[in-house]
Chains A and B, each alone.
Chain A
Amino acid sequence: MSGKDILIVGVGGQGVVLASNFLAEAALRAGYEVKKTDTLGMAQRGGSVVSHLRYAGSVASPLIPAGEADLLIAFEKLEAARWAHFLKPDGAAIVNDLAMPPLSVTLGTETYPSDQDLLDMLSAFSTNIRLVPATAAAANLGNPKMVNTVLLGYASRWLDIEPGILTSAIEAGLPEKLRKTNLAAFETGRDLAAGQFRQE
């Protein structure tokens, strides 16, 4: 069993931990050994959040060593740059096209990098970068909070897990009233990736 090392990052409140729970549950159902760990700051909201997920035949450390992640799923652009050094040189970065400036930026003490600067920074770590309009896609479906499911759908093209297993894990983790729209969000993410995906 080959398996994958996946880093999911974003801003507190965006649903990073929920997304990594869905993926971990799917990997369990697919028969892998799974370890995942979330590193959170002090507060409930607003800080930088990173979740490490590893599944394979055998997993020792739940933390992914720097430079060894197969996949970086970033819910926000600045956070993509902050954690990009975990990527393998041929690892894929799936980056939501969303800027959430931290308070230091809105107060004017620090600056938010331009799209070109961000792409330059990311390119230093990997050549395989996908900027995905996931927030817009989720908003089109009626709920911008579903950005995590859109990105999971997009990322599903890179995983060694059947899409059916992924969707059943997502369904099992959501209350009834959210299931249908989230499955649509997952499919939207898959469709967004379909045109660009090539098996690396």
Chain B
Amino acid sequence: MERLLLSGNEAIALGAAHAGVKIAAAYPGTPSTEIMEAISRIPDIYGEWSSNEAVAVEVATGASYTGVRAMACMKHVGLNVAADAFMAAATTGVRGGLVIVSADDPGIHSSQNEQDSRNYARLGKVPCLEPSDSQEAYDFARAAFQISEEFDTPVLLRPTTRVCHSKSIVAPREKNPIGQNPEFRHDPGKLVMLPGAARMRWAKIIERLRQLSLYAETSGLNKIIVGKTDLGIVANGISYQYAREVFPGASFLKLGISYPLPEKLVRDFAGQVGRPLVIEELDGFIETELRAMGIAVTGKEFLPRTGEFSPDVIRDSAARAGIITGAKSKPAPASGLAKRPPLLCPGCPHAGFFFTLSSMGHRSTLPGKTQRTPKLTVCGDIGCYTLGAYPPLGVIDTCGCMGAGISHAAGMAQAGISEKPLAVIGDSTFMHSGINSLINAVYNQAKICVIILDNGTTAMTGHQGHPGSGVSVKGQSGNRVVIEDLVRGAGVKNVAIIDAFDLKTIRSALRQAMSSESLEVLIIRGECPTLARKKAKPLELSAQKCDDCGACLLIGCSAIMKTGNGKITIDPGACLGENCTLCLQLCARGAISAKEVSS
């Protein structure tokens, strides 16, 4: 039998493909991004990067209404954006199987919070499936489509970072054909949710939930692994794998369907073991459901409610609770090491703008000098450019969720702060939900300055296309929404487009925009260097002319460094040469040049 080494995300994509999915839509977001990327490589399936997650769910729902199988993929915070569309699909139900993947991020590897998507399953009264490795990611994705059609419901597939970004072995099974002959059947009582129809529908949803919990009693997605009976562990997803390692001899009830719960199965299991324990990451979701059924279980009394689990976390918690004894102590990491936070890349088109903002706003200070009180209020957003919050740039004051920066700034301006607030947003985020905020700012005459940092891609998640790049999920160029036309069309009078590597122009445009009495939009445009991969001859630093003042270090470019003896050097392996030249522009002594330094 063929055995493949796949990540959980690749396995979900393959499982969906082998289930015969016809349409898939997503907005990129770690840890979910690679699902869509893997689907885009499979012929005959329509895939798209949608402009945001609500749109993705709506596209998939529409396709399902024509009878084909459809999927929408996102990260947990994307499900907030899609919540309305998700609830709408939960209410109407489906025709072709509809699977909504929401990948949770316990431990906040790359997110703004660690909310637990299972709560949306309960809200929408839809089943939630939780795979624990790549084989299950493949199998559960297939099963999800079948459950969706059998019970007339969207299905929430909830992997977590550790499943999405782990590789393990998958043995694929036979393929279903991709759905053909899509056809919409008129059924307003099911699909037009005016109050009269919706009331009828809601009663069906309550009955659907009851049927689903009966299904969960006997479904192969829930498994009992019989072991010693003193300890009985109820676990879901990756927590099951960790618990299996820590308690190799225990009995397990592994819940592949974590909502709705199979009451009889859990009650029987709990009755057969000495101590029933629930081991689940994030919320005590299963635990609360079981307690509501009157089943006495423990778990969150000793296991953390936040952060990612690991075998170590479970072992340490169990030892503290006296459940296991004789656990050997683990070595602690070396202390006091220099931290290594992520950085803007050498040649990043955001660096010059952030440097300018930093110097104008009193944020940047040469090493050893006292920091001044910052001027300028800068509302940030979600993307690579959030890294502008780190030193030495340090120019982001707020960051909440996709598209929030412009509205934060508008709120501050409407509240009456004295300085004109700035909002910084990337091109992909602007398309995702920044446009909504901009339209509001235009309409309500918010006196703010909006800076769109346009690097032509969704860089942070790995260079996905978006409406402003015009690049499809398969990498083909198609229609492109021109940001400046969109902004002007929204009613913004003052729009300037500026080269991201021209520091003087950036500074004068910022000065002008901040002193004006109206809404201003600056589009700072420059290619993402890791996408373009262009490299010119590295810039050179003249040791004779350089006085090691350190001004060039304030760009935060990782190609420029101060060596042990205090001398500044440029790493020729990392410098992008004339594709950037930011350090050259701000060196007061002219010590940096693009040409050979003579002598």
Which A residues have a C-beta under 8 Å from some C-beta of B?
11-12, 21, 24-25, 28, 33-48, 59-63, 65-67, 78-79, 81-85, 101-113, 121, 124-125, 144
Contact = CB atoms under 8 A, between A and B. Distances in A.
30 contacts: A24-B5, A28-B3, A35-B166, A35-B167, A39-B165, A40-B165, A42-B30, A43-B460, A44-B459, A44-B460, A44-B530, A45-B343, A46-B340, A46-B558, A47-B342, A60-B245, A61-B241, A63-B310, A65-B311, A67-B328, A78-B337, A81-B334, A82-B334, A82-B337, A85-B330, A85-B331, A103-B558, A106-B562, A107-B391, A111-B338
Contact of B341 (A41, A59, A60): A41
Nearest to A121: B334
B368 interface: yes
A45 B345 contact: yes
B57 to A, nearest CB: 25
A62 B166 CA distance: 7
Interface string B239-265: 001101100000000000000000000
Contacts of A78: 337-338, 340
Interface of B: 3, 5, 30, 109-110, 133, 162, 165-169, 238, 241-242, 244-245, 310-312, 315, 328, 330-334, 337-345, 367-368, 384, 386-387, 390-392, 459-460, 462, 530, 553, 556, 558, 560-562, 564, 573
Contact of B242 (A61, A105, A106): A61
B134 to A, nearest CB: 9
B166 A107 contact: no
B159 to A, nearest CB: 13
A158 B162 CA distance: 27
Contacts of B558: 45-46, 103
B553 A35 contact: no
Nearest to B368: A108
B312 A65 contact: yes
Nearest to A84: B334
B303 to A, nearest CB: 16
B72 to A, nearest CB: 24
A101 B338 contact: yes
A126 to B, nearest CB: 10
Contacts of B5: 24-25, 28, 34
A66 B89 CA distance: 44
A152 B420 CA distance: 55
A135 to B, nearest CB: 10
Given A108-B562, A112-B338, A125-B331, A44 B462 contact: yes
A66 to B, nearest CB: 4
A85 B341 CA distance: 20
Given A61-B241, A66-B312, A85-B332, A46 B109 contact: no
Contacts of A33: 168-169
A44 B345 contact: yes
B109 A102 contact: no
Contacts of A104: 338-339, 391
Chain B contact surface mostly: loop
Contacts of A34: 5, 167-169
A85 B333 contact: yes
A35 B168 contact: yes
Given A66-B312, A67-B330, A67-B331, A28 B169 contact: yes
A190 to B, nearest CB: 24
Q: By CB atoms of chain A within 10 A, which of B241, B343, B344, B530 has the most?
A: B343
Contacts of B334: 81-82, 84-85, 121, 124
Contacts of B3: 28
Contact of B391 (A37, A41, A109, A144): A109
Nearest to A76: B340
A65 B333 CA distance: 13
A85 B343 CA distance: 25
Contacts of B367: 107-109
A102 B556 CA distance: 11
Contact of A113 (B167, B337, B390): B337
Contacts of B110: 40-42
B354 to A, nearest CB: 13
Given A43-B343, A106-B560, A63 B337 contact: no
A104 B340 CA distance: 8
B575 to A, nearest CB: 14
A59 B343 CA distance: 35
B153 to A, nearest CB: 31
Given A45-B558, A61-B244, 11 more contacts: A36-B168, A39-B109, A42-B30, A45-B345, A59-B168, A60-B242, A62-B168, A63-B242, A102-B341, A107-B392, A107-B562
Contacts of A60: 241-242, 244-245
Contacts of B530: 44-45
A63 B109 contact: no
Contact of B166 (A36, A108, A109, A111): A36
Contacts of B30: 42
Contacts of A111: 338
Contacts of A39: 109, 165
A101 B559 CA distance: 11
B367 to A, nearest CB: 4
A69 to B, nearest CB: 11
A85 B335 CA distance: 11
Contacts of A45: 342-343, 345, 530, 558
A35 to B, nearest CB: 4
Contacts of B345: 43-46
B315 A65 contact: yes
A129 to B, nearest CB: 13
Contacts of B162: 37, 62-63
A28 B460 CA distance: 31
Contacts of B333: 82-85
B460 A42 contact: yes
A61 B310 contact: yes
A36 B10 CA distance: 14
Given A37-B166, A66-B330, A81 B109 contact: no
A37 B109 CA distance: 13
A81 B343 contact: no
A101 to B, nearest CB: 6
List the 4 closest pairs (A to B, CB-CB), nearest first.
Answer: A43-B342, A46-B343, A47-B342, A110-B338
Given A28-B169, A61-B311, A102 B241 contact: no
Nearest to A102: B340
Contact of A12 (B312, B342, B392, B462): B342
Nearest to B558: A46
B244 A105 contact: no
Contact of A144 (B165, B387, B562, B573): B573
Contacts of A12: 342
Contacts of B311: 61, 63, 65
Contact of B109 (A40, A67, A79): A40
